[in-house]
Chains A and B, each alone.
Chain A
Amino acid sequence: QQKVQQSPESLIVPEGGMASLNCTFSDRNSQYFWWYRQHSGEGPKALMSIFSNGDKKEGRFTAHLNKASLHVSLHIKDSQPSDSALYFCAVNSNNRIFFGDGTQLVVKP
């Protein structure tokens, strides 16, 4: 069964700094990858999807996918206090979506 692991579990970055979140998965047949963000007490919201190897940039957010290494990452440039949230990596496998355990990001003003 697909295993999706995220690191680090928690991350503190200063305002304006770069936050880097990592995710590894186990199913080499996975094709679709997402990053979601969840603020406390709310439902998760999709940040980005990435389906091809390489980088995908949307504003301050850049996702990187390396299927051969079974690795996907998210980098947040110029982090803001409003970026403080729980971040999930999601990966498809065998007609299901698997979520990682999340990375809790805190951006300190």
Chain B
Amino acid sequence: AQTIHQWPVAEIKAVGSPLSLGCTIKGKSSPNLYWYWQATGGTLQQLFYSITVGQVESVVQLNLSASRPKDDQFILSTEKLLLSHSGFYLCAWSLHLHQDTQYFGPGTRLLVL
């Protein structure tokens, strides 16, 4: 069975500080990976997707970047946090890109002060 793990569970960070969020998928080879952002109680905004190691596509510009250093790992980062980065960050995987059910991780809650 596939499992998806996100770390950390939650973060409180200062404006202007750097950030790195991680996501690991186990039990699935070469998954398509996604990062989403969600305001409290809000819709899911797709940020990035990746079909393979080293290849990441940006969907929206939010002063964030993403990398896929390993087949099972997806990293979201920024060098300078903004207040608007607060929210719930979700990692997901699917079998076929944008045409298949997406399976979400438990999420990381971020508060920027």
For residue A101, CB closer than 8 A to chain B, the reply is: yes
A45 in contact with B43 given A92-B98, A95-B97 (CB within 8 Å): no
Contact of B43 among A32, A102, A104 (CB under 8 A): A102
**B34: nearest residue on chain A (CB-CB)?**
A97
Q: Which residues in B have their C-beta under 8 angstroms from that of A49?
A: 101
Q: How many residues of B contact A (CB 8 A)?
A: 20
CB distance from A75 to the nearest CB of B (A): 20
Q: B101 touching A99 by the CB < 8 A rule?
A: no
Q: Which residues in A have their C-beta under 8 angstroms from that of B46?
A: 96-97
CB distance from B66 to the nearest CB of A (A): 15
Q: B102 touching A46 by the CB < 8 A rule?
A: yes
Q: B99 touching A102 by the CB < 8 A rule?
A: no
Q: A34 touching B101 by the CB < 8 A rule?
A: yes
For residue B106, CB closer than 8 A to chain A, the reply is: yes
CB distance from B108 to the nearest CB of A (A): 10
Q: B106 touching A101 by the CB < 8 A rule?
A: no
| 21 pairs of residues in contact across A and B, judged by CB atoms under 8 Å | A32-B98, A34-B101, A42-B107, A43-B90, A43-B92, A43-B104, A43-B105, A44-B44, A44-B104, A46-B101, A46-B102, A86-B41, A88-B44, A90-B44, A90-B102, A96-B98, A99-B44, A100-B43, A102-B41, A102-B42, A102-B43
Instruction: Enumerate the 7 nearest inter-chain pairs by beta-carbon distance, A residue then B residue, closest first.
Output: A43-B104, A99-B44, A46-B101, A101-B43, A43-B107, A44-B104, A99-B43
B interface residues (Cβ-Cβ under 8 A, vs A): 41-46, 59, 90, 92, 97-107
